[in-house]
Structure 1
Amino acid sequence: MKVDVQKYLPLSPATLHVLLALSGGELHGYGIMLEAARQSGGQYKIGPGTLYDNLKKLLAAGLVEESQPENPETGARRTFRIATLGHSVLAAEVERLSGVLRHARRSIRLAERRS
């Protein structure tokens, strides 16, 4: 059964950045925060509360999977990876945003011609 990825759209900025960060590979929470900041050129910084609230929702929705549970005995951190559904949703959001940008650029060009 094919899942309708459109029901997850549009993504919030935090969710978009979490999925983008995880699209590069498995990360722990702090790694996700660093990668989101790196990918945005420092323009977007996600705090731990927002991050873990989003991860909880993404895990429940099946967009993200926990790949290593936290283990206090070994000091291992929880790590996360994007799920197949998460990849599909991210791709659909990127396509949606591309359409928004095309429309915005067209509107700006038209406005500049009128000036």
Structure 2
Amino acid sequence: MRIGELSKRTGVSIRMLRYYEEQRLLSATRTSGGYRDYTEDAVERVGRIRCLLDSALPTAVVRTVLASLCGGAEAERPLLGVLERELAGLDERMGRLARSRAHLAGLIEDVRVRTRG
């Protein structure tokens, strides 16, 4: 199938599909006319890519996960360790955001108190 059809079937823009290919998350063969030609499996793979990216994983980790799940030769590290490190990093970022939010909420309350009186 051509890129336009894959886009319609997955709801992912053509530009984003090209980006996935650039990041080696998705691959296509080329027709004699130079058009991308995707297999039927690409629909499911794009769904997996979207799910993994929605989980806040960087494309390099998504590539590792896909390689591990799909049995590719690119899997270099144990998948569990990679995902655990990503989760720890996400927890750390969430902690920093929670502290920033608490500071901002405190500042807002201080301003409210000053403007009341």
TM (norm. structure 2) is: 0.39
Q: Which has the larger radius of gyration?
A: 2
Larger RCO (CA within 8 A; separation ≥ 6) = 1
Structure with bigger strand share is 1
